[in-house]
Structure 1
Amino acid sequence: MTPKETLQRILEQHNQPSNTPDDVLFNMIFPYCIYKDLAKGSPYSDDGVNKTYVTRCMDISSEIYRSLNFGSKLLVVYEACYSKNEKEEIQFVESCLNGVKKKEAYSFSWKSPHMDETYPAALACNREVYNCTRILYEAENIDVQRLFLEIILSDIGGKYELASKIFIIDTTTGCIFHLFDDRGLWVSGLEGMYFPQLGEGLL
């Protein structure tokens, strides 16, 4: 099974129809999804980035990820939703992955969710078509500290623009983990999964 076929299998388990066109993952609606905020307060201090805030975001996101007990059969999804030339960024992401067995890259067109409003910006948004480059990695484990730090710093002074680009999937359980940036994360499980570590019960 190719990485793309594995992703499609997982998405079908999350009630994403197999006959629909490819779409970016942050556009999809997952029925059994739990959102979690990270640190409170401002990401900035008088000296620039608030290091205490960043550390707190790191602690919360890392603790939640580890508590999910993902195994060694991971599918890591990287999405450059606007297909910018992100060579250095991709190299960084790959440096955080260990035991990569397969890699698959492909592109597809996508649109933002339709807006019913008729003001010019909404009409322009409805017409706009974007091109996404998606790279899939089958990996055994991840350097969580390095990867999560750069995701958290994405919009507050980081080196890379990794916000909403990385999704980590345990292919055995079908659980999806997405740290979008310093504002929070979500975990999507299958019906009947239990996440007491997120303060939530049965999905």
Structure 2
Amino acid sequence: MPAAPRVSDGCYTFTPSGLLLISSALPVIGAMLIELRRGIALHPATFTAVIAPEAVILAALNGNPDLRRFLFLFICGNYSRLISRISRDAANFEVRRPFTADQLLTILNEAGHTIIFIEHDPTLFEGAGHLLGPLSSALKQAGQESLVILYAPAMDRSFSALARQADRLIELLLPQEPERRQPYLGTRSVRDSALPKAQQTLEVS
């Protein structure tokens, strides 16, 4: 069970019991990190679930030119709110689009990237709730060596299940943003959600 949240400057940070929260104010020598907001950074070898406005996550990804030096895997569903607004000029930036939860699990098990960013798509899990546990474990496993980020603009049931084994759950709110937001329903249409399970994933360079 997660400990009580730490609340400061519009940020809620939950840390599972027994885990140490490392402040980004500490020096990190020879390491790569992604700063979401001053004093809030994501470090290598961690699995972090992040709920934040799109503008915040885009600024964090586009505002750090050093990320181009690392192998970056961006995973999203059939439609993405972010991918068209992320700088993708680096040769080591890879995009993969799973159409099913099974395909997402395969991608995570095969990933060997320094950074793995998953833009949550709840429609992947319609009729595949039995895979939420294995996927949460796969995210945790990947986070032992990579910087793994599971992102959504708002909480939903499948996101909560996937984040169950996260080292940190961070929620960032804009100053005037209400604390209670509407559930995130994803961006895929009903027609897209009916894609056959045998369809291959897309790889975009």
TM-score by length of 2: 0.29
TM-score by length of 1: 0.29
- Computing the radius of gyration from Cα coordinates, the structure with the larger value is 1
